[in-house]
Amino acid sequence: MLSNNRIVNKNFYDEYKYFDEYLTNYLNVEENGVDEYIKRMKHAIYEVKDVLPEWMPTIARLEKMKARFMSLDDAEISFDDFQGKDEDVVWIRIFLEKIEQKADPLEKYSKLKFTFKKRKKSLLQRFLGLFN
């Protein structure tokens, strides 16, 4: 009989693989869709982190799930060892629904961009702009 941990980890592993492939297609990259999503979020972090409350928790969750997947993928940790809960699978499915409804963080950011360009820049932003 399969252990509960093995079932939970297998479900997560399969769901994460699907999620990564989905993001690869969604972002038009050749591989590593989750990495690319994180990279794009980090690229805009200073503009958005105070405007979209889910920005930082989303990055943290994606990184945590990627680490969990990698530990299973590299077989450093057995599928029978405790790795996490089914809530990661639920989170991925909700995130996929957000993408389909154009309500994920990157999509929200793309809609916000225009207001940032019109906002008056702070002294620090203007100063840093001199060097870019």
Question: Mean pLDDT, to the nearest integer, of 89-110?
Answer: 95
76: tokens are 């450093």
Q: Which long-range contacts (CB under 8 A, 24 or more apart) does 29-34 make?
A: 34/62, 34/65, 34/66
pLDDT at 120: 59
Indicate the residue type of 43: H
pLDDT in tens, 32-85: 999 999 999 999 888 888 889 999 999 999 999 999 999 888 876 678 887 677
Nearest to 83 by CA among 3, 1, 6: 6
pLDDT in tens, 43-53: 988 888 888 99
Give the residue numbers spanning the domain of 79: 4-129
Nearest to 41 by CA among 76, 66, 78: 66
Burial (CB count <10 Å: 0-12, 13-18, 19+), residue 101 = exposed
Instruction: Count structural domains, the chain.
Output: 1
Question: Mean pLDDT, to the nearest integer, of 93-117?
Answer: 85
Are residues 40 and 104 in contact, defined by beta-carbon separation less than 8 angstroms? no
Burial 26-50 (b: 16+ CB within 10 A, else e): bbeeeeebbbbbbeebeebeebbee
pLDDT at 4: 85
Question: Mean pLDDT, to the nearest integer, of 105-131?
Answer: 70
Indicate the residue type of 120: K
pLDDT at 113: 57
Better-predicted residue by pLDDT, 74 or 27: 27
pLDDT over 70 percentage in the chain: 81
Nearest to 128 by CA among 40, 47, 42, 38: 47
- pTM given for the model: 0.80
Indicate the residue type of 132: N
